[in-house]
Structure 1
Amino acid sequence: MNSFEINKIAGGVLGTLLFLQVVYLASNAIFSHPKPADTPAAGEAPKPAAAAAAPAPTEELASYIGKASAKKGEDDSKVCQMCHNLAKGGGVILGPPLYGVVGRARGSVAGFQYSDAMKAKGGTWTPQDVFTFIKDPQAFVPGTKMTFSGEPDPQKRADIVAYLDTLSDSPVPLPKPAP
């Protein structure tokens, strides 16, 4: 085998490795994953159960609604439009349509197959519920089909809630801004 053949083989192997690295980096840029829970290092004692069971403080929509902008929410909701239809009378895309979602009963859009967890949750989508849900859908409804990892920025979530509330024939009153 001459050096030209060896170079072709090495180039093919290196090209494949480069392609796999680019695909890996691109997929990490597109899809975010929640950070794993803190686990003790080897030989380290686990944290006490009481510390792990302490509930996280609940963020209140009222704390952010005073600065909320439906216009910013419209821009921030572009990611929602990948799976949800926002138009009045719009049908199911991948997820249920979001027109009129604030104030609507959970799991109530005909033609969409909701997860058993969402059906069991019941109730109505209040502005606070939407605010909490889009932070971490899996935490709000464990077992939901929604694969969105969540929006950590509370002001963006408040903007989105303000925008979604405008997408209704009878908008729900948003909470009064916190003092």
Structure 2
Amino acid sequence: MDNRMNTIAGWVLFGCASALGLSIASGMIYKSGHPEKEGYPVESADGAEGGGAAEAAEPIAARLAKADVAKGQASFAKCAACHTITNGGANGVGPNVWATVGKPHGHIAGFAYSDALKSVPGNWTFEALDAWLASPRKYAPGTKMTFAGLSDPQERANVIAYMNAQGSNLPLPAVEAAAPASEAEGNVATGTDTNELANDAQPATGAPSVDPAAADEAAKKGQ
């Protein structure tokens, strides 16, 4: 019996010694240290590391002018878990959003809107919906809505166009036309003043005019 216990104890000690030896050896091989640069590099869409400043989105009017209602309906599926958008549709986790565009914040009677959203002044304009869909938590800090938002500006415009077509049907905002390049702008770019060009083409004010015939007669007398 003693020999058996001694054998077991010997194997246990051998196993412990082997584990300790492997631990020391692996520590020597795989030496850990503080990384020179913490974190992981993240490339932005244009390939720049760190995801520099995103390019400013077009105005909502310009995006709505080229919005695709069908694509907006497909994107609205992300909202359908909480919202209905049918005439007379029931409220869910979120309110029914039929004919919402142009209505005041918190316009559905009886729905328990958050105080954060009810405190936002104004109506659900196209601009307001664009900001809300980009980030509900930034638009109304403290809102109960947990949706992270739609980062793609054109996708937001598509969704807004679809929502507008569901009972609101408000006229889309006009797109401001860019001023065409003019000759004056070109002259400014080259440092030329159009007034100076006009003055060069005309005699200075008060300068005597010269009669070609009188000049010819004077030349003959001088001879």
Deviation at 1:110, TM superposition (A): 1.5
Q: 2 CA distance for matches of 1:59 and 1:109?
A: 31
Aligned partners of 2:117 and 2:57: how far apart in 1?
A: 21
User: What TM-score, normalized to structure 2?
Assistant: 0.52
Structure 1 runs, 4 residues or longer, greater than 4 Å off: none
- Aligned-partner Cα distance in 1 for 2:173–2:108: 25
The 1:59–1:106 alpha-carbon spacing in structure 2 relative to 1, beyond 3 Å, is farther
8 A contact 1:65–1:177 mirrored in 2: no
Larger Rg: 2
- Counterpart for residue 112 of structure 1: 111
Structure with the larger RCO, 1 or 2 (CA within 8 Å, 6+ apart): 1
Superposed CA offset, 1:85-114 (max 9, x none)? 111011211001110110111011112101
Aligned to 1:125: 124
TM, length-normalised to structure 1:
0.64
Report the counterpart of residue 171 of structure 1 in structure 2. Answer: 169
Deviations 1:108-130 (A, max 9, x none): 11121011111111321001111
Gap regions ≥5 residues in structure 1:
1-40, 42-56
Q: Distance in 2 between matches of 1:107 and 1:157?
A: 21
What CA distance in whole angstroms lies between the structure 2 residues aligned with 1:59 and 1:143?
A: 28
Name the CA distance, whole Å, in 1 between partners of 2:63 and 2:73: 16
Q: Measure, in 2, the Cα distance between the counterparts of 1:65 and 1:80.
A: 19
Question: In percent, how many aligned pairs have the same letter?
Answer: 38
Q: 1:159 and 1:166 mapped to 2: Cα distance?
A: 11
Distance 1:177 1:163 in 2: 19
Work out the CA distance in 2 between the residues paired with 1:159 and 1:177: 16
* Residue of structure 2 equivalent to 1:152: 151
CA RMSD of the aligned region, Å?
A: 1.9
